[in-house]
Amino acid sequence: MAQPCLHQHSIKRTKVLNDQSILFVDRDGQNYVNQLLRQCPSMRRNSLLNYPIVNSRLCSGNTFTVLWEVGTNNYVPAFVCQLGMFVPVSEDEVTDIMAMTKEPDSPRARRRSERDMVETERVELPQPATESAPEAAAEAVPPTP
């Protein structure tokens, strides 16, 4: 069930997945994906984000700032974006999300995950009746009443 807030002390780490999704991992190992209400310009996998904590909680509707690196270890505020709900996801779902949200310059960009793969198999089609065997074709057709 989606949660509106996470307690500050329960958050172990975060990872930006793309310009609209952030993964939060809590100290108990539970994963949450926060699907932003809108795309957050300039937010990328390696982006540094500044989350303001209100009453020791990070909540849906709170805003955060994307920081741009200027020079060496100098950051300036860039875009301000708004958090969505925190949706719990399994390890398999995290793997799928990560596979589908690779950065565009990555060799595996926009590939489907194993869960989305379509399996195919070869099928032998029946051989068409030839003109040299009209009796065999006639036997295959049931007589009409």
Asked if residue 101 is part of any domain, the answer here is yes
Asked if residue 143 is part of any domain, the answer here is no
**3-class DSSP state of 135:** helix
Asked if residue 139 is part of any domain, the answer here is no
Looking at the DSSP bridge assignments, the partners of residue 69 are 75
Asked if residue 133 is part of any domain, the answer here is no
Question: Which segments of the chain does DSSP mark as H helices, in order?
Answer: 91-100, 134-140
Asked if residue 87 is part of any domain, the answer here is yes
Asked if residue 132 is part of any domain, the answer here is no
Confidence (pLDDT) at 4: 95
Give which of 72, 18, 73, 13 is closest to 42, Cα–Cα.
18
Could you give the CA distance from residue 118 to residue 103 in angstroms, rounded to a whole number?
A: 23
Asked if residue 119 is part of any domain, the answer here is no
Confidence (pLDDT) at 32: 96
Give me the domain span that covers residue 32: 5-114
Below-50 pLDDT ranges, the chain: 105-110
**3-class DSSP state of 18:** strand
Q: What total number of domains does the chain contain?
A: 1
Confidence (pLDDT) at 73: 81
pTM equals 0.66
Asked if residue 120 is part of any domain, the answer here is no
